[in-house]
Every structure is written in structure tokens, then in C-alpha cells.
Amino acid sequence: MRQNPKRLQADRPTLARVAGEGGPAAEPTVGEGGKPRRGLPLFWKLFAVQLLAAAALLSGVLLLMRQQTATSFAAYVEAHERQRLEDVAERIADQHAQTGDLALAALSVRELRRRALLPPPPADAERRRRRLRAPLTVLDADLRPVAGVPLPPGEALRVPIVDDGVTLGYVARPPLPEWIAPDEVGFWRRQTEALMRAAAIGLPLAALFAALIAAMVLRPLRRLSVGTAALARREFSLRLDADRGDEFDRLAADFNALAAALERYDRNQRQWLADVAHELRTPLAVLRGELEAVLDGVRPAGPAQLQSMQQEVQRLGGLIDDLHLLSLAESGGLPLARERCDINALVLGAVARFDAPLRQAGFALEAQLAEGELMASVDAQRIEQVLANLLGNVLRHAQPSAPVRISTAAADGRVEVRVCDGGPGVPADALPRLFDRLYRVESARSRDGGGTGLGLAICRSIVEAHGGRIEARASAGGGLCIGVELPAAGAGT
């Protein structure tokens, strides 16, 4: 597919801006109606979320502490006041044993002296107010006040006055919410101020940590954004540092693997285009030379010249056909007419076709077939093409120094076919690349004997389209051995 040059040129400034950004701001996206739409930068989103979470957690902790403190403080005040009332009730009981009068006994106790039915002290008596405790009231057995200040409405705290097992009355004080001693109020105020100071210190710290965490998250994302922009500019040599040891490290490693794969793909594509241009240039150059020689009168337009030009046209047509077949196979568009076939029968057919040419070239062809039928669901014509390419490759590149063996076998639900020659061999580092398109091996196995250089690449594409695999290895005789594995019938398609 051809790209629009104007589109690519228009995209480059945007990619450059994305790659050059260091701040948290993002490029505007296009919303409805084609109008640019700006969203809140990710930095502020992360910062706001973490700050709100920290504020909610801090508020919850402080509220819980406040409630727990209030509950514990109320329990402490009630226990303290109850102990005080018990002491007063015990002294009143002792005085009652002497006087026999509950009111006189109550007034003889210091906490109730000069407080008989008197209101609480004025609010402006600061020093005296600081020393006051909650006012007490003495009630008789019928809960009528006999001494002290009147009780406000509510559930008062009462302690019975008991003398010889008889309840004479009660010592009571106003409910806790109605009267708390000034020192107790001061304690409560100090606790509240301490909690507020903790909130005032904790919230800025939470904001600082939220900013640090947001920056830590965004830093690798910015690097990844720069890297992807570089890939968009076809700068495939860029690699990201992967030294964090976390999920971003794995993301950077995946990015580096992607960049390396794109770099290899780009390099292979460049080499592929150069090789295709070279392969097309060779027959065209020969044709041009032959035609120019005929037109200039250097050579007559005889049958020999016409036959030579026809051979170059056939070579050019074969190369184009192979390129078309290879493109179909690699894109998944190669049609396959699958049917149950006996692989042994297909191998015997290929051996019958190539037996005479191989023997004329001095090769001894040996077939070692597995017993019985080796059934597989394949396109018979395509598999025959694979076998023809492999045997033709032997005919063009191998030397008749050792027999050529073609064998079949069945193992683990797969059907295997191997074609091995006697040499010359292929360097070990070149074996994995034999199936690359137009790959050249700088050895005695060159393409001087003819062929388009796409045979093994086509074989790999056809075999993989059948769900199989093909590999090259060194043969026992020092040559090359090509192994093809196909799923057996019933083991998958």
C-alpha cells in the first residue's frame, strides 16, 4: 500500500511535539464536529485521585480517633465522678448516723456546704470556675432534693446513700453533657487541637507524596511516549532503559523487543527490495542487451537470439509468479484445497518425476518410506510443489558425491518428510536463514545453477499454511537435510 506523502509530512510535526514533550500536558484529541478536545493531564488526575484518597483516609483516621477519644474520655469522666459521688455518699452516711437528719448530714460535707439549692457560679468568675467541679445534689429516698443545686432535666448520675443496709437517699450530679469540669474541658480542647494539627501536617505531606507518586508513574510513560514517537518516525534503533524491576520494566522490555523486531523487519524489507530489484534487473539487462544488439545490427534476429530472450522472459515470469505466490502465502490468502492424502504416494510421485534428471546428473536417489499409509489433510498440489522445490534445489546446488535420500516417518500425530543430500554443506549460522526470501549463502551452494531464490521461502509458507513446520540441518553425509512436518489426518488442519 502506498502512503500519501502529504499525510506523512503533516504527521511529522505532531510526532516531533509528542517526542519532545517533557511535561505532563497531553496533545489535544479531536472530539465531535472536528473540534479539538483537551482533557485533564494524567499527572493532575493521578495527583487528585491520590490526594483525595489520602485525605479520605486521614479524615477517617482522625474521625475514628476523635470518636474513640470521646468515648474513652466520657468513660473516664463518669468513672471519676462516680468515685467522687461514692466518697461523698459514704461521708453523708457517716454524718447521718450521728445526726439522724439527711439534710444536716449533707450540709456537713464540704462539697455541699453553702450550696443548698443555690445556682451554679457566674460564668465570669474565671479563677473560681477553673477550680469548680460539677455541682452535687442530695435527694431523699423519694428523689426529692434536700441539699445542693437543682438538677437540670436529663438522666443524672446517682449514687445511693446507704446506712446499715437502708437506702437513705442519693447523691446526684447533672448529666455529663450538661456539666464538665473546666480541666476536663481543657483536656478535650487540647485533644481536638492536637488532631487538627495532625490533619494540618498530614494533608500537605499526603499532597507531596501524591505528587511524587504521580511523577514516578508518569516518568516511564513519558519515555514510552518518546519511544513510540521515535518508532513512528522509523527510528527503530531506540531502546528504553529497563532498570526499575517493576511492571514498567517489563513494559520497557516489551517495547525494546518490539523495536528490535521492527528494526529487523525494516532491515529485511530493505534487503528484500534490493534483492528483488537485483533479480529483476538481471533478466531485464540481458533482454535489453539482446534487443539493442539486434536493433544495432550487431547480431542478427535469428532463432538463437530469440530463444535466449525467451529464456530470460521465462525467468522473469517465473520470478514474478514466485513473488505473487509468496505474497499470497505470507498474507494468508493462499487457497488450499485440502483432502485426505497419502504422503507416501505424493513422495513416490515426486521421486518418479525427478529420478531421471537426478540420475542423469550423477545422483543416486534413495527412497526410504514408512510402512503403510501416512494420511494427512493437505492440498496435494501444494505439497507436490514443496517436494518438487526441495528435489529441484538438490539438483541445482548439491554435488553427486553421496546419495540423495528422501524418507518419510510418522511420530506424535505428525507426518515427517526429509530430503538429505551429500554436500556441500551450509554454514551453521546460515541454516536458520535459508528460508528467508532471496537469502544468499556465500558458499559453493550458490544460485549459479539457476532458480529464482524463492523456492525455500515458498516451501516454508506453504508448509506453515498447512499448520506444519520446516527446518534445515546438517545431514550425516556433510550436506544439507530439509525436514518437513505436517499434522496427520485427525490431528488438526
Which residues lie below 8 Å from residue 453, measured CB to CB, with a gap of 6+?
275, 279, 437, 438, 439, 440, 447
CATH number 1.10.287.130 given to 247-329: yes
Topology of domain 336-487, CATH: Heat Shock Protein 90 (3.30.565)
Cα gap 425→394, rounded to integer Å: 12
3-state DSSP helix/strand/coil percent for the chain, to nearest 5?
Answer: 55, 15, 30
pLDDT of amino acid 418: 93
Cell of 110: 464540704
Query: Domain-by-domain residue ranges, the chain?
Result: 8-23+39-233, 247-329, 336-487
CA distances from 383 to 71, 354, 387, 483 (A): 86, 15, 6, 13
pLDDT of amino acid 453: 67
Cell of 269: 524489507
Residues in the chain where the model's pLDDT stays below 70: 1-40, 42, 113-133, 154, 176-188, 244-245, 440-453, 490-493
405-457 confidence digits (pLDDT tens): 999 999 888 999 999 988 787 888 888 788 877 776 654 444 444 555 678 88
CA distances from 310 to 12, 278, 293, 299, 324 (A): 48, 19, 15, 16, 21
pLDDT of amino acid 185: 61
Cα gap 60→66, rounded to integer Å: 10
The answer to whether 106 touches 175, Cβ cutoff 8 Å, is no
Cell of 365: 536417489
17-36 confidence digits (pLDDT tens): 333 333 334 444 445 555 55
Annotate 448-457 with b (16+ C-beta within 10 A) or e (fewer).
eeebbbbbbb
CA distances from 326 to 332, 367, 453, 467 (A): 10, 29, 12, 16
Cα gap 161→143, rounded to integer Å: 12
pLDDT of amino acid 279: 72
Bridge-based pairing of strands 414-420 and 480-487 is antiparallel
Which one, of 267, 292, 243, 289, lies nearest residue 439 by Cα?
267
The C-alpha cell 532503559 sits at 241
Cα gap 72→162, rounded to integer Å: 30
